[in-house]
Amino acid sequence: MKPTQEYLDQAEKLLMEVFHGYRPKLIDSFGSIQHSLKADHSVVTKLDVELETKIREALADFDPGVGVEGEELGKTGSRSTFWLVDPIDGTESFIRGLPLPRNIVTLIDDGEPVYALIYRFITDEKFTAIKNQGAKKNDQPLHVSNRPLDRAWINYSTALDDPKHLKKFLAVKKHVHELVNMKEFVNLATGAIEGVIWDNSAGGVWDYAPRGLLFKEAGAQVSNAGSEDFNYLDKTIIAAGPTIYPRLKQIYEEN
């Protein structure tokens, strides 16, 4: 059974209760919490694990037939319909006291993201995206920028020590106003910047699935390199408003 609007509304209400319930603890620990390193050398705190556990428990009570895959605690349950959980997206920013971290939960159904909830607990801002229904910030519609390519800011993440990736980076740089490497991905959906290129970036599926859906539902065109489609399992992603997307993708792929 496909998730209905009622199902998503109930899930969102439940998740926001969890997020709001943990917000005081997260705010209190913001910039002043101990951390450890995982096997991949990324940082983790006790609150990452604690909050993911709480989210999993809430989702299991809500619908035990839907699986869960989280950054900290792995996979359980169904793989046809499951929740992706990133309890604190931007843990490095969280421990440094930078106002960028988010709580993110995404619903995957038949291999594609259909719903994403992004909560910026520092600023108390909620972002949502539902497949074919648009994206919102605090329940107000979002839409990408229509600035032209020569005025565009592109969030570009790549390995500049690799000559192949550097060549693409420099080619794109010639045609845009600015290349930046921001840690805040919602900027594309709000229209603050014009595009995103993640050239085989780091991160997990819980990072790419909600971002791709949010961008698309805010009006961006989103694809993987060499494809016209978006697969959240692929870590090379190009996204931009329709004004500049075709040319931006062409420049990237021709170099």
pLDDT (tens digit, 9 = 90+) per residue, 40-75? 888 999 999 999 999 999 999 999 999 999 999 999
Q: Map tokens 């494809």 to a residue.
A: 227
CATH number for the domain spanning 122: value is 3.30.540.10
The pTM of this model reads: 0.96
Q: Which of 83, 110, 141 is the last residue of a domain?
A: 141
Do both 170 and 131 map to the same domain?
A: no
Q: What is the pLDDT of residue 111?
A: 95
Name the residue range of residue 161's domain. Answer: 149-254
Structure confidence at residue 155 as a pLDDT band (50, 70, 90):
very high
Q: Which of 141, 158, 173 is the last residue of a domain?
A: 141
Angle between helices 5-29 and 46-62 in degrees, nearest 10: 160
Do both 137 and 154 map to the same domain?
A: no
CATH number for the domain spanning 160: value is 3.40.190.80
pLDDT (tens digit, 9 = 90+) per residue, 196-227? 999 988 889 999 999 999 999 999 999 999 99
Do both 111 and 224 map to the same domain?
A: no
Q: What is the pLDDT of residue 1?
A: 59
High-pLDDT (> 70) share of the chain, %:
100
Domain count, the chain: 2
Do both 161 and 132 map to the same domain?
A: no
Do both 72 and 182 map to the same domain?
A: no
Do both 18 and 96 map to the same domain?
A: yes
Q: What is the pLDDT of residue 40?
A: 83
